[in-house]
Structure 1
Amino acid sequence: MTVSFRQILESLSSYETQQVLRKQFEAANHADGERMRHALEEGGTAQSDVGDSLRGSNYNLNRYTNVVPFNHNRVRLSGKADYINATHVTVSQTGGRYIATQGPLGHTRGDFWRMVWEQQAGAVVMLANPVEQLQSKCAEYWPTPVGEVLKLGDLSVSLGDERPLEGCLSVIARQLKIARGAEERAVMQLHYTEWPDHGVPQSPVPMIRIMQELERAGSFGTGPVVVHCSAGVGRTGSFIVLDAARRFFRQAADYDGDFVGDVFGSLRTQRTLMVQTFEQYLMCYQTVHYMLNSRE
């Protein structure tokens, strides 16, 4: 007999359920680690799943040497220099499309905005701060203060407005404009400032407010939502799981099986280390439980 997802959520507080979830996570983590280890050992050979990321100058475009995209679903920029550490991610249960990417380095800010432009993305979710625990986690890739313009190659980025999201001081909403020649496009950036690296948020409310804003704005544009933290895996993967769950359960009362586990398993086949720690994995279940039992 198939257990429903709501039944799993109702048993979350039990030691037995948490142990089952831990074993599931550890098994997926081991398989993912082995796949990436073999891929990195094969290096730039034709057999490597990640060879494009290690080839020539591409190696210096990665923030972390062990977090690189697979060849088959990496985002490809136009032109000869087509590499960026970013992955096309899809959620089959909802049809949702995302780009999971690392926080830009100082010398990849132009590539980041080229990607946003070429993929016609209208919304960027930022889940890291430029500096965390005295370490650089993400270059500041937008102009400050309001009214300033940042020139990056043939693109220019300007900041039109910056303020806390209504009712949520830990999320900064930035209204940006990206232009190439005479063509301009609006881009909304939602920056959650209080999610610790490798950790979990103290409250689910800021994440839910970000999801509500994405929905209210229609996610802007016609392209995927760009999501990044520092490496573009732990916090990024967790957010995608939660956004997918919110979208799915807006239309469905229940799910046969384990929704979080199924989406997590799919994400791990698309980009390494998505939902990086067991604490983040368990938080996904707890947050979905909260969403399903509260009035937004």
Structure 2
Amino acid sequence: MTLTSFRQIVESLASYETQQALSRTYQAASRADSERMTQAMEQGGTPQSDIGDSQRGRNYDLNRYCNVVPFNHNRVRLSGKHDYINATHITLPHSPNAYIATQGPLNHSTGDFWRMVWEQQARAIVMLANPIEKLQNKCAVYWPAKLNQTMAADGLTVCLADERPLEGCLSVIVRKIRLAMAGEERLVTQLHYTEWPDHGVPQSPVPMVRIMKEIRSRVSPSPHVPVVVHCSAGVGRTGTFIILDAARQYFAQNQDYPGDYVADALISLRQQRTLMVQTFDQYMLCYQTINYMFNNKD
């Protein structure tokens, strides 16, 4: 049977044939991504390399993982002489939403992270990792530890104004963070999902759907203002979330999609940042969560 629409695909997810077809698509995208990155790494810091900026001088030490670096053409550029941060501008076909996919800040790049948030005028941060996972450092704690406590970050003052669980969803912590610089103040909302294992998938789609709803209805209603999304490397959990957030908005306005929405989104993401949606289980989670959204309208 030929599946010609996305709803047909998700309705047949239990089928062995469908799962095998999805696996082949994912493996093909992963091979193409690996070949591109291998070529880029071999070119190193030469002008021909699309990852050359990440390999130069002090920039190299700003990468959490040596094999996860942004492409030159769509990396986020900070103002000033030192403009490098391991972060990528992301857009998807059929979606007006703007995203920034980035690694979890390092201790010595926390100031760069907050400067990016300020310069990009972001209002929402989605954090999908915990600072420590399996006894390994995955992300610096880049916000103050106590309410009303402040910290300095590259010319900015960062203050934790509020912290509480998302209503009805204890696995998501909502932090209101006040940024100030040169007499101007802005409020940024961080939504921290604490129960998504590295390289794995969460047990329930509900917290992710709740995060998306909170962002789009209450925090950052303009799709043109980028939502900053990070896990540890800024690829696996991050890419999965971006596909789901874009899909939620698309299918709120369209009954179906001609072809495979998730496969098309994955190919687009991999052209913008390597290793996005890092495992096949995360890829399948995209289909399963969208199917959940089809059957559980907000």
* Same fold (TM > 0.5): yes
For residues 182 and 131 of structure 2, the distance between their equivalents in structure 1, rounded to whole angstroms, comes to: 29
Could you tell me which amino acid in structure 2 is paired with residue 187 of structure 1?
A: V
Post-superposition Cα deviations, 1:134-176, rounded to whole Å, max 9, x if no partner, equal: 0000000001111100111310110110000000000000001
Could you tell me which amino acid in structure 2 is paired with residue 155 of structure 1?
A: L
Runs of 4 or more above 6 Å deviation: none
- Deviation of the 1:2 alpha carbon: 6.9
- Contact 1:123–1:214 under 8 Å retained in 2: yes
Q: Which aligned pairs between 1:64-79 and structure 2 lie closer than 5 A? A: 64-79=65-80
For residues 204 and 286 of structure 2, the distance between their equivalents in structure 1, rounded to whole angstroms, comes to: 12
Q: Which aligned pairs between 1:1-296 and structure 2 lie closer than 5 A? A: 3-219=4-220, 223-296=225-298
- Contact 1:229–1:236 under 8 Å retained in 2: yes
- What percentage of residue pairs aligned between the two structures are identical? 66
For residues 40 and 61 of structure 1, the distance between their equivalents in structure 2, rounded to whole angstroms, comes to: 17
Q: Aligned with 1:162: secondary structure? A: strand
- Contact 2:123–2:219 under 8 Å retained in 1: no
For residues 192 and 26 of structure 2, the distance between their equivalents in structure 1, rounded to whole angstroms, comes to: 28
Moved more, 217-226 or 2-11: 217-226
- Deviation of the 1:218 alpha carbon: 4.7
Q: Which TM-score applies when normalising by structure 1?
A: 0.98
Post-superposition Cα deviations, 1:3-29, rounded to whole Å, max 9, x if no partner, equal: 011001111000000000001000100
Structure 1 unaligned runs (5+)? none
Q: Aligned with 1:96: secondary structure? A: coil
For residues 146 and 46 of structure 1, the distance between their equivalents in structure 2, rounded to whole angstroms, comes to: 47
Q: Aligned with 2:91: secondary structure? A: strand
For residues 297 and 154 of structure 2, the distance between their equivalents in structure 1, rounded to whole angstroms, comes to: 46
- Contact 1:122–1:220 under 8 Å retained in 2: no
Post-superposition Cα deviations, 1:38-71, rounded to whole Å, max 9, x if no partner, equal: 1011110001010000001100000000000000
Structure 2 unaligned runs (5+)? none
- Deviation of the 1:220 alpha carbon: 5.9
Say how many residue pairs are matched. Answer: 296
For residues 14 and 290 of structure 1, the distance between their equivalents in structure 2, rounded to whole angstroms, comes to: 17
Moved more, 223-232 or 88-97: 88-97
Q: Aligned with 1:217: secondary structure? A: helix
